[in-house]
Amino acid sequence: MRKSSQAALTDLRRLVTMLRTPAESTAGVPSPGLADLPALVVTAGSHVSAELGHLDGLECPSAVQEAVFRIVQESLTNARKHSPGAPVSVVAGQVGTNLLIEVRNEAGGSGPWIPGSGKGIQGMTERAAALGGSLLAQPAPDGGFVVQALLPLSTAAARL
């Protein structure tokens, strides 16, 4: 939880810096990407499993990489808030010319439900759409919840 909070503060500082000085905001501050997914999964807890396909060396624009990271990050946060302690799986891999991400949590959990702001799914949907992709977030048939994003690997996404 502490690492997630620190990451959120770092992201917020980066955003504030970007809004104040757009030309200098990203200098020296690397955006999170595909290589950061394993660490994100590890910090999420032992109840989270991951199957990350063959993402090493995948040709993928930085905007898509950051979107993947943010979608997984938000999905894990939602699972922790709404179904604490329940098993969660993260799957990511290339499907044709796209990158498919799925985060699925089982129903239940062993902690108190924590209310959210209600903007997380909307933000993930907008992030995917901005890249020419799509996002589906809905209850799973088994009572859990699933988030699936399909993002293009094309260089068109790199224009963002």
pLDDT in tens, 92-137: 999 999 999 999 999 877 665 555 666 889 999 999 999 999 999 9
- In the chain, DSSP assigns E strands to 48-51, 88-95, 98-105, 134-139, 145-152
Integer CA distances (angstroms), 16 to 10, 21, 24, in order? 10, 9, 12
Quote the pLDDT of residue 157. Answer: 43
Rounded-to-integer distance, Cα 76 and Cα 58, Å: 23
Integer CA distances (angstroms), 107 to 40, 103, 125, in order? 22, 13, 23
Q: What is the pLDDT of residues 3-47, one digit of tens each?
A: 655 665 555 555 545 445 444 545 667 899 999 999 999 999 999
Q: What is the pTM of this model?
A: 0.78
CB 46 within 8 A of CB 86: no
Q: What is the pLDDT of residues 45-85, one digit of tens each?
A: 999 999 998 888 788 999 999 999 999 999 999 999 888 88
